[in-house]
Structure 1
Amino acid sequence: MVCGIYTVSPLHVSTGQAEGAIDLPVTKEPHTGFPVIPASSLKGVARDAFEHDAKEVKDDAERERRIKDEVHPLFGPKPKSGNQQGRQEKQGEGSAGAASTPALFAGALVFTEARLVAYAARSLNRPFLYVTCRLVLERLGRDLRAAGIGDLGSLSLPAGSDEVLVADKSLARAPLVIEDLVYLDAIAESATLKGIAESLARLLPDREEETRNRVEKGLVVIPDGDFSVLVRRLPVRARIRLDDNKTTSGDDGNLWYEEQVPADCLFVSMIGARRGRGADLDRLRTKSRLLEVSQIGGNETVGEGICLWRVGCAPATAGKGAT
């Protein structure tokens, strides 16, 4: 099934390795440079939400039962840390009833990394537009077909086309300005893109009607090369840690630069189940409300990484046709 992830606040999922002048760049695909959210991050957020829900039960026995019966089948049991294992073995020395470490096994759920589908970019035509490219939509359609979920309409554009497509006719009037990209001609309204925009809008929760409408009317397809340049210039924020004297001097002071994915970007991940475990996928779908507003990545205490999730949505197949 499809999982739509919409960034409400800037997102920072770091690689932990410096990249040039950027101390903490975000995770990107190595071959495209497009930002992604690792599958391990998504699975960890989902597991945490399910564990938190299970631990809300006050009765200890019921809480343990829910973790064993509802969390472990989906995500697998957590391996004990070295310290926990050592304490357990020490407590069990000389005791015939010593507790044994529970067997580890893989959970039923399979997450793919969340790929960027629409990037929020500043514009002179509107406060911002949802920008994508033919390559991104082509890969999304391929992923949907591989998952047996559906398809997206073909934009019928020749490879290397410089034509810009818009979902809303009011954007078809030149010039179209996106960041420092200026398009003076070859801007066309596309009925197929309008259908795709409506499909992408369904990746947001039903209650977010205004944001859905903004996606439907603000989706723009630019050339692949322009999109690649655009998303490789992500916002960078300087972060600083002050010492007790409110200065950066001394060993406690530090200055570093973090890359961020802006708010109002849309990512898509596919979630499946291992063979023979389809019932567990249905269990995730029935409890998807637990993930509707979730935090991903670092800087949680300063409000970053707040995202809207919609789990189990299936974009309607966009009608195929000419541009």
Structure 2
Amino acid sequence: MIDKYFLLFYRVETPLHMGSDTEIGVVDMPIQREKVTGFPKLEASGIKGSIRKIFEREDKDLTNAIFGPEVDGSEYSSCISFTDGKILLFPVKSVQGIFKWITCPLVLNRFIKDYNLFLERNEEINIVGENQYYSQNKIEDTVDVILEDFKFNLKRIKKLQVLDEIISNIKKDKNVPGYLKDKIVNEEIIILSDDEFKFFTEMYTEINTRIKIGIDGIVEKGALFTEEYLPMETIMYGFVSVGKFMMTEREKNTKKEKEYLCEKMKKKLENKKLVVNEFNYIKEILNEKKYVQLGGNKTLGKGITQLILGGE
């Protein structure tokens, strides 16, 4: 069987730190970034480990069948795989409307390329220009927008299919707050140049200073450090592929265990009128369990992220 793919958006609900270990620089503990572009990213291994915990709360046997055995990973592999999370929309403070989502031609054209590759579509690439804004409702041909301390004069795009797709998925998700749906529909998504977008994603992440208090109630010497976070309302994306259960190494038990696992899926999906298979079961669980906690500092409430399922 050829693996099936679906699109998955990650909307950052609370500041998110998926770290790249300590570095010598302005920030002691930076976030993960792509080596070539410098854009923020979410490593697939961290995503997969956190999402596995969602499934473990549902059923331990099915989780091992889907994600592979937790104890002996060489016994058989998982039937699910994740791509790295890539940046799509980055929030920037604005005089108009509190904040705006920004993106750039490189990001949008890369999204279209990935979309075509994984979902076997044929959307046109290299049609996105810079210094534009996209809105489904506003009618002004040009607008002036202030982002942080910078002013931009932007031309309106009346229709762009890639952004229609993104907005459609966010609008139809019942767990996205109504005010955010209104915002993404009524206000502009701003397309800056690639260099301007890179500047904002490097200079306008959140930087938190952390300290360590000793038992005497005084800050310990040398225990001052800084951490970088993706800000709230950042939207990332990735793709998930699902194949068949991979328990081929245990041939004498495979058929029996396969029947057992499918029966468990039938019970969990009863009355939902879904074909019982790995792909539908995984999408059903992710549709029900819409939030995952990614990255570090979970005890501080960091990294709560909403999962929004896209097309397939």
Give TM class, smaller chain: 0.7 to 0.9
Map 1:271-286; keep pairs closer than 5 Å. 271-274=240-243, 279-286=277-284
Runs of at least 5 residues in structure 1 that lack an aligned partner in the other structure: 55-66, 81-101, 316-323
- Give the corresponding residue for 1:207: 175
Amino acid at match of 1:197: L
Q: Would you say the 8 A contact 1:50–1:290 is kept in 2?
A: no
Q: Would you say the 8 A contact 1:4–1:310 is kept in 2?
A: yes
Q: Would you say the 8 A contact 1:19–1:25 is kept in 2?
A: no
Write the distance in 1 (CA, Å) between the matches of 2:17 and 2:237.
Answer: 17
Write the distance in 2 (CA, Å) between the matches of 1:26 and 1:119.
Answer: 15
Q: Matched residues, percent identical? A: 19
Does 1:254 pair with 2:236?
no
Q: 1:232 is paired with a residue of what secondary structure?
A: helix
Q: Would you say the 8 A contact 1:79–1:104 is kept in 2?
A: no
- Give the corresponding residue for 1:33: 38
Write the distance in 2 (CA, Å) between the matches of 1:171 and 1:244.
Answer: 60
Q: 1:302 to 1:131 in 2, by over 3 A?
A: same
Map 1:153-164; keep pairs closer than 5 Å. 156-157=127-128, 162-164=130-132
Q: Would you say the 8 A contact 2:243–2:279 is kept in 1?
A: no
Map 1:68-217; keep pairs closer than 5 Å. 68=61, 70-79=62-71, 104-148=75-119, 150=121, 156-157=127-128, 162-167=130-135, 169=138, 173-184=142-153, 187-193=154-160, 195-204=161-170, 205-208=173-176, 209-216=178-185, 217=187
Q: Would you say the 8 A contact 2:10–2:236 is kept in 1?
A: yes
Does 1:222 pair with 2:220?
no
Deviation at 1:151, TM superposition (A): 5.9
Question: Residue deviations 1:225-256, cap 9 Å, x none?
Answer: 10011101122111111112221135xx6110
Deviation at 1:172, TM superposition (A): 5.5
- Give the corresponding residue for 1:314: 311
Deviation at 1:218, TM superposition (A): 3.2
Write the distance in 1 (CA, Å) between the matches of 2:77 and 2:220.
Answer: 48
Question: Residue deviations 1:140-191, cap 9 Å, x none?
Answer: 111111012546666735xxx653233253675542111233114xx21112
Write the distance in 2 (CA, Å) between the matches of 1:266 and 1:248.
Answer: 36
- Give the corresponding residue for 2:249: none
Deviation at 1:25, TM superposition (A): 0.3
Q: 1:175 is paired with a residue of what secondary structure?
A: strand
Q: Would you say the 8 A contact 1:292–1:309 is kept in 2?
A: yes
Deviation at 1:280, TM superposition (A): 2.0
Write the distance in 1 (CA, Å) between the matches of 2:56 and 2:71.
Answer: 15
Deviation at 1:211, TM superposition (A): 1.5
Amino acid at match of 1:245: D
Q: Would you say the 8 A contact 2:7–2:311 is kept in 1?
A: yes
Q: 1:245 is paired with a residue of what secondary structure?
A: coil
* Aligned-pair Cα RMSD in Å: 2.5
Deviation at 1:41, TM superposition (A): 1.1
- Give the corresponding residue for 1:240: 211
Q: 1:243 is paired with a residue of what secondary structure?
A: coil
TM-score scaled by structure 1?
0.77
Q: 1:207 to 1:291 in 2, by over 3 A?
A: closer
Write the distance in 1 (CA, Å) between the matches of 2:78 and 2:144.
Answer: 52
- Give the corresponding residue for 1:294: 292
TM-score scaled by structure 2?
0.79
Q: 1:287 to 1:48 in 2, by over 3 A?
A: same
Q: 1:136 to 1:19 in 2, by over 3 A?
A: farther
Deviation at 1:213, TM superposition (A): 2.5
Q: 2:119 is paired with a residue of what secondary structure?
A: coil
Write the distance in 2 (CA, Å) between the matches of 1:16 and 1:32.
Answer: 19
Q: 1:212 to 1:153 in 2, by over 3 A?
A: farther
Q: Would you say the 8 A contact 2:93–2:148 is kept in 1?
A: yes
Q: Would you say the 8 A contact 1:16–1:25 is kept in 2?
A: yes
Q: 1:142 to 1:248 in 2, by over 3 A?
A: same
Instruction: Report which of the two structures shows the higher radius of gyration computed on alpha carbons.
Output: 1
Q: 1:203 to 1:298 in 2, by over 3 A?
A: farther
Amino acid at match of 2:106: L
Alignment: residue pair count: 272
Deviation at 1:46, TM superposition (A): 1.3
Write the distance in 1 (CA, Å) between the matches of 2:42 and 2:140.
Answer: 30
Runs of at least 5 residues in structure 2 that lack an aligned partner in the other structure: 1-5, 247-275
Q: 2:237 is paired with a residue of what secondary structure?
A: strand
